[in-house]
Copies of this chain bind each other. A is one copy, B any other.
Amino acid sequence: MNTSPQPDALTKVHGLRIPAALRGAKRPATVERILAAAERMFAEGGMAGARTDEIARAARVNKALLYYYFSSKENLHLAVLDALFQQLVVAVEAAFSGDSLPRQRLLAYVDAYFDFILRHPNYPRLVQRELMEGGKNLVWIARQYMRPIQVKLSRILEAGVARGEFRPVDSTQTVMTINAMIVSYFAVAPVLSQVLGRDALAKEAVAARRRAILDFLEHGLLRQPARSRAARKP
């Protein structure tokens, strides 16, 4: 029997000696504040650019407390990623469950991913950064979290192709394309807002992006696009 709600793969695999508070379900408010602050700082500046002093200040905590809970900057960074990916898996897993058709499942995935990112606006830049640097953190995260999602999504695409519902596409390439379309928009959103002069994360802007992606998928992937989204004759 494991009394803690999460098996806490992080602790097991990395062998960290984490204080009790970090293992339990209800983490102290300070830990939450540290994680939230770190998430923002790491998203903004990356592992190299983020400053531990700034994180501590943003979390309204003494810097030493960062090292009390997480023993290094590196571990704090890993903890941030781990917490986010755990939530991502939960959110996306829901879209994969059920027994609907490949098309429904694919669209549900896109929707779930969008919703997750809107709830965690720092996620896109954190992943992009991680994917570009690729330390040991990434290898662990790729195996633990990314791979399973990628595999399941591939299966859905392949099922759709097999049933003749989708065009015959390379599922690996398509997964990359789908994720790129979604993530990269939000990764550059802060800058996009600045350059365009309007909020790229505003409701309409996000809705427009979601529509564009779904539209593109319907026509780039599906053999018979839904009539509601089909192009009208000019």
**A interface vs B, CB < 8 Å?**
44-49, 125, 128-129, 131-134, 138-139, 142, 161-162, 164, 167-170, 173-174, 176-177, 180-181, 183-185, 187-188, 190-191, 194-195, 208-209, 212-213, 215-217, 219-221, 223, 231-232, 234
Interfacial chain B residues near A49, Cβ < 8 Å: 46-49, 133
Using Cβ atoms and an 8 Å threshold, which residues of chain B touch A142?
191, 195
- Chain B residues, CB < 8 A from A208: 170, 173
- Contact pick for A139, options B167, B170, B190, B195, CB 8 Å: B195
- Residue numbers in B under 8 Å from A216 (CB-CB): 169, 174, 177, 216, 220
Chain B hits for A173, CB < 8 A? 208-209, 212
A216, B219: Cα distance in complex, Å: 9
Please measure, in the bound complex, the distance between the C-alpha atom of A131 and the C-alpha atom of B48, giving whole angstroms.
17
Q: For A188, what are the chain B residues with a Cβ–Cβ distance below 8 Å?
A: 131-132
CB within 8 A of A131: which of B176, B191, B234?
B191
- Secondary structure of the A contact surface, majority rule: helix
Distance between A218 CB and nearest chain B CB, rounded to angstroms: 8
Given A48-B45, A220-B219, the answer on whether A177 and B167 have CB atoms closer than 8 Å is no
| Chain B minimum-CB-distance residue to A196 | B172
Shortest distance from the beta carbon of A152 to any chain B beta carbon, whole Å: 17
Give chain B nearest CB distance to A92 CB in angstroms. Answer: 19
Per the bound structure, the CA–CA distance linking A125 and B215 in Å amounts to 28
Residues of B near A180 (CB, < 8 A) are 180-181, 184-185
CA distance A169 to B174 in the complex (A): 20
